A and B are shown apart, each in its own frame.
Chain A
Amino acid sequence: MITKRTSLKIVALGAVSAAALAMGGLAPAFAQTKELKIGFVGVTSGPAAAWGTSNVRSMQTRADWLNEQGGVKIGNDTYKITVVTFDDQKDPRRAIAGMEKMAQEGIRYVVGPNVDDGAAAVRPVAESKGIIYFPYAFPKSLYEKPASNAVLGMVANYQSAPEIYKFLKEKKGVKKIAFVAANESDPLSQRDGGVAAAKALGLEVVAANDTYQNDTRDFTPVLTPIVRLKPDLLVLSGVAPGNAPLLIRAARELGYQGLISAETAQDATVLQEGAGALANGFISVGGASTPEIRSKTMDEFIQRYTKKFGEYNDESNTKVYALDYIIETLKANPAAIDNVEEYKKTMDTFTAPNPYVKEGHPLKYVGTTSFGQKRQVSVPMVVTEFKDGKFETLFVGSVD
């Protein structure tokens, strides 16, 4: 006799069996979509948080966008992108811990760190664990042989400075140049590179030793003696986006009327809020930043970023590139998905269309001139002038 309880059991078993069969039938379709983890190790807290935050947010915005389109097809598989982040607090010891965490998670490609000492500190971990990383740090030793796992994620100041100074010498009549830098490894090394480039161009360097603490809030005492030297160009070497408007404002309020430039990427909103019209004429380097050269894809990226995080950061004009470079290189050689040696082989010949500019500037690895091997992403070297809250393109260069 079939009781009510037995009937319920039969129905329940039938339902479970049907669900299992349905799942089994769908299983092959799900199996096609895998997860590709890309790491980030950099600074997202403290005074330099802006550097790493723009990295992370660029990666997350781009990853969400690609995932929304169904993921990326690499070889025969489709991958959803997952961004794994680690805040190194600008501390080399934490950067090492972050890179080790990435290794433990089986991550092969990491964006960051953001500063020289962090990038140098993670090198042994990256090389021993087989990780390719994309620092935003300039020491050549990271990219020259025998090093081979680091790929510079932007244009270095020793590549952009000669171009900028030459342009300003020829077009604006700059003869005397002064440098001021924060008393930290990155800005100081950038300052030294800038001084060498200026001297090579025959410019008179009137100030090369002036420095400031990175947490300085009022730069009037720092700039008072420099302004008195009346340079034609004041270079803010390696200046953090937060300090740039304060330095510009202090210099202008002290009566400085010459040009001011920096070789680091800046943010238009920060400049406008912090210095307003006093920042007009400020020259800096960005990537795919200005409406004149950016593509519709870049416009959409900015819209998506703004929608996701409330406000765009112009530093992301350069930092949007790293994730695309990793994905496109993996597409070019699917065997590199878990083998960085394959990735390195592909770097020498890799090229792909650049989605972020209207034309030209294909994605490719460069750096042969500076490092003797291709260990740098090619991004357009867009030299911009700040004017009334926006960046305007002065000229576009490139690195080989």
Chain B
Amino acid sequence: MEQVVVNGLYLGAQYALIALGLTLIFALMNVLNFAHGQMYVLGGFVTYTIYGQMKLPFVLALVCSGLTLAVVGAFCEKFLFRPVIRRSKRDESTMLLAAAIAFLLDAVILLLFGEKQRGVPKIINGVFLSDTIVMPYDRIVVGVVAIVMIATFVLYMQYSKTGRAMRALAQDRVAAQLMGVNVERYSMIGFALGAMLAGVVGGLLVTITGISSGIGGPISIKAFMMVMIGGAGVVGGAIAGGFILGMMESVGLTVLREFGDITYLVIFVCLMVFLSIRPNGLMGKPWG
């Protein structure tokens, strides 16, 4: 059982980090970024190229993944989402735009990096062994880094000037504007930060799970599930959603294995029941 719990915590830390960027963008701009998974994949491929192919230090590769995606995110916000939000009153417009960006990124990534699954050398070798728990050191490192990054992100949002401005923006866009917050600037920073998080997670996890061009869609779906569990647009909710999903997966795959692959079936049923009782998720607020 200890192994199941450790697996769940480790998966949860991964998932929470994936969901953070998605929920941040939603909170700031009310945009469901369907391209979040593709941004994760792009980040993974940047790390693969720099660390796996060019043999440069992993930390440098991770920084480059973050910066690349921050630029991509800022570009998307300024030149794509901002004009659409300004001209269209309908939420579907941004959703369609996000879906189009997802398809575009999918195609570009396939062209640039090919169809094969890619992997990089392990960042640390060896396995932690005890009587009840087996966990490779690189997974422990990635899990710890993920938790540190989540904590840093929460502190940044809580105490930095930029973080406060973005929180104000998330709470009430008009009020924040009236209080002197530069809405356009902080929207762009927020989108860049969300995309950067996706890129960094992709870069971080390429050392464990590798990366391939077609996984963006499934990653996005999982991220949406976590956000729905925790509550859309709430940072704490995304973290909680990530850990809950990770734990449910780990427990389900162990307890329900004799019945075939019904773990996700059970998770989806639980999610439907949960949302019918609590449509805003654990920590979400009613729309509008």
Contact = CB atoms under 8 A, between A and B. Distances in A.
Contacts of A274: 117-119, 210
A173 interface: no
Contacts of A267: 116
Contact of A48 (B122, B214, B259, B260): B214
Interface stretch (B24-32, B81-89, B224-232, B248-256): B248-256
A211 B214 CA distance: 21
Nearest to B127: A253
Contacts of A311: 114, 116
Given A222-B253, A241-B117, A274-B117, A215 B215 contact: yes
A209 interface: yes
Contacts of A183: 260-261
A355 B167 CA distance: 67
Given A224-B253, A253-B136, A273-B210, 14 more contacts: A45-B107, A47-B215, A50-B117, A50-B212, A53-B114, A209-B258, A211-B260, A217-B208, A221-B254, A246-B117, A270-B116, A276-B122, A310-B114, A311-B114
Determine which residue in B208, B212, B264 has the highest number of CB atoms from chain A within 10 A of its CB, and name it: B212
Nearest to A222: B253
Q: Which 8 A-B pairs have the closest CB atoms?
A: A242-B117, A215-B218, A211-B261, A274-B119, A183-B261, A273-B119, A47-B214, A217-B209
B261 A212 contact: yes
B259 A209 contact: yes
Interface stretch (B3-11, B152-160, B189-197): B3-11
Interface of A: 44-50, 53, 183, 209-213, 215, 217-218, 220-222, 224-225, 241-243, 245-246, 253-255, 267, 269-270, 273-276, 310-311, 313
A49 B113 CA distance: 12
Contact of B116 (A210, A215, A269, A276): A269
Most buried by A among B10, B116, B118, B254: B116
Nearest to A51: B115
Contact of B115 (A50, A211, A253, A254): A50
B242 interface: no
A49 B116 CA distance: 8
B212 A47 contact: yes
B214 A225 contact: no
Q: How large is the interface on B (under 10, 10 to 19, 20 to 34, 35 or more residues)?
A: 35 or more
Contacts of B217: 46
Contact of A218 (B11, B107, B116, B117): B11
B106 interface: yes
A315 to B, nearest CB: 10
B161 to A, nearest CB: 36
A218 B134 contact: no
B123 to A, nearest CB: 13
A241 B118 CA distance: 11
Interface in B95-131: 106-107, 110, 114-122, 127, 129
A21 B136 CA distance: 78
A50 B119 contact: no
B129 A255 contact: yes
Contacts of A213: 218, 261, 264
A254 B14 CA distance: 19
